[in-house]
Amino acid sequence: MNEVIRDVAINISGLSKRYEIYDSPRHRLWQGLAMGKRQFFREFWALKDVTLNVMRGETFGIVGRNGAGKSTLLQLISGVLTPTSGSIKTAGRITALLELGAGLNPEFSGLENIRMSAAVLGMSDAELAKKMDVIVEFAALGDFINQPVKHYSSGMIMRLAFAVAINFDPDILIVDEALAVGDELFQLKCIRRIQEIKESGATILFVSHSTHTINQICDRAVLIDGGRVVEVGSAKTVSERYNKLLFALDAGAENKDANSPRDAKIASSVGVSEIGAEAGEYFRPRAIGGEVRPRGEIVDVGIVGHDYRNLAFEQGDTVRFRMRVRFRENTPHVIMGMMITTATGVDCYHTNLLCRDLMIESATAGETYAVTFEMPLSLNAGSYIAVFDCQYDMRATPKLVDIFYEALKFTIVPERLIDDGGIAALGAKIECQNIGKGI
C-alpha cells in the first residue's frame, strides 16, 4: 500500500501520459538509432498535468467525451500503465473493472475462470470458498458455469467477469463503463452491489458517459477534456458542466445552412436530407469522428418541428421525439427506445418498441430506421434530459447497437410562480371545506 495523505484514498499530482505516434515502422527503428538526437515521432498527450484527491469512502465520478483521457487515467491508477510524469499514491487493495472478460481463459470453464481470476486479484483460498456461492449466484449462468467460456455469449462473459470483481471487497473499486451493456435487471443488480460496496466504506472511481448514472451513485466528480481537468465538484455541478460542454460544442459546430458539408455528409450517408428541411427544425447528429459502433449507429435525434438547441415547452405539450438508426451489419431482433430523466438523473419515463410489440425481426446492413415517440409532456416545470438507445438479440441475450447519452436537453416552463412540485404533472384536484366546530 502506498503512503497517502490521511483520509485521502488516491492522491494524484501533476500526472501526465504521453504516447509516441510513428507514421511507419521504420521511423520507430530510426528513433532507436538516433540516440535522442532527432525525433521521428509525433507526441500525443492522453493526459496532461492532472492533479486530484479522492477521499476515503467517496464515490467519485469521471466524465468526459470519447478520447478525453478517462480510461487512461483509470489505467494509470490501477497500474496497467505507467505515467510519463507525475505521481499516484493509493491506499488499499484495488479492484479494477476496466475491460470485462479480458483476463478470462476461453478453454477454462466458468468455475475454473472464477478460481483463476480470484487468484489474480489476490483472494485467498479461504476467502474464495466463502464467496464462491455468492459469485456463482450473482453471475446467474446456470449450468453454463461448468462449460468452457469459449461457448459463452458476450453478455455471459460480462456477467462472469463482473461477478468475480464486484464480490472481491476492495478498498478501492474502479469501474470503467462496465454498466454500458447487459440487460436492465443485471445493470440494476450491479448498481445495488456497487451501493453496498459504497456503504461498506470503500472508495469507488466510476467512469460513465451517462450523467444519469453519475448522479445516481457519485458524491463528487471530475470533468476531463483533452486530457486536462476542466472542473471538479459535486456530481450535479460537474454533470451540468459536462452537458453544457456537449451542447455548446455541438451547437458551435452546427451550421444552419442545410447544404453545409457537415449536414450534407450526415444526410447523404442515410440517403435522406432532413436536417434543416423545415423552418426552425434541426436534429442533433452524432459527432463526426466519434466512437464507431460495429453493428450500427444512431445517426441523429431530435423533436419534430423544433431546433434541438433551444427546446422549451409548456406542461402537457404533445411532442414527437425522433431517432434514426443506420445498420452496418445484418442484425436480428432489434428494438429502439428512449428515456427521459431529470437533470440530476432521476428516471421519469422510458419506453421502447418492445413495449408496443413492434420489435424488428431483422435489420439489414445498409438500412436506416426512423422511430418516432409521440407523447404529451406531462411533467412539472424543470430541466430534463432525453437518452436514446438501440439494442438487438432481444430473444436471447440483449446487446447494445448504440446508445446516445444526454442526447437532448429540454425544459418545461412554469405556468405560474407557485405550482405543483415533483416530476409528474398529476393535476390533483383539491377541495377544502369548513365543516364547523365540535370535531
Spell out the domain ranges in the chain: 8-93+170-245, 293-413
Report the half-sphere exposure of 374 (CA within 13 A, side-chain side).
3
Q: What is the pLDDT of residues 359-380, one digit of tens each?
A: 999 999 999 999 999 999 999 8
Is pLDDT at 191 greater than 90 in this prediction?
Answer: no
pLDDT tens-digit profile of 161-175? 888 877 877 889 888
Mean pLDDT of 52-78: 90
C-alpha distances out from residue 208 to 41, 55, 338, Å? 32, 19, 18
Is the pLDDT score of 199 beyond 70?
yes
* Three-state DSSP string of 79-94: CCCCCCEEEEEECCCE
Q: What is the CATH number of domain 8-93+170-245?
A: 3.40.50.300
Most confident of 30-34, 143-147, 334-338: 334-338
What's the mean per-residue pLDDT of the chain?
82
Average pLDDT over residues 109-130: 85
The closest of 358, 357, 338 to 349, measured between CA atoms, is 338
Query: Where is pLDDT greater, at 180 or 350?
Result: 350
Q: Please, are residues 395 and 301 in contact by the beta-carbon 8 Å criterion?
A: no
User: Quick one: DSSP state of residue 198?
Assistant: H
* Mean pLDDT for the stretch of residues 253-260: 40
In the chain, % of residues over pLDDT 90: 37
pLDDT of 1: 44
Cell of 379: 411533467
Angle CA 169–175–180, to nearest 5: 130
Q: Decide which of 3.40.50.300, 1.10.275.30, 2.70.50.60, 3.30.43.10 is the CATH code for 293-413.
A: 2.70.50.60
The span from the CA of 382 to the CA of 412, in Å, is 5
Q: Which residue has the higher pLDDT, 38 or 429?
A: 429
Residue 295 vs residue 98, higher pLDDT: 295
Q: With a cut of 60, say whether residue 68 has pLDDT above it.
A: yes
Residue 248 has pLDDT above 70, yes or no: no
Residue 232 or 165, more confident:
232
Select the more confidently predicted residue: 344 or 174. Answer: 174
Bridge-based pairing state of the strands 399-413 and 312-314: parallel
Question: Across the strands, what pairs with 303?
Answer: 321
**What local confidence, expressed as pLDDT, does residue 260 receive?**
37
Which span out of 153-162, 271-280, 331-340, 412-421 was modeled with the highest average pLDDT?
Answer: 331-340
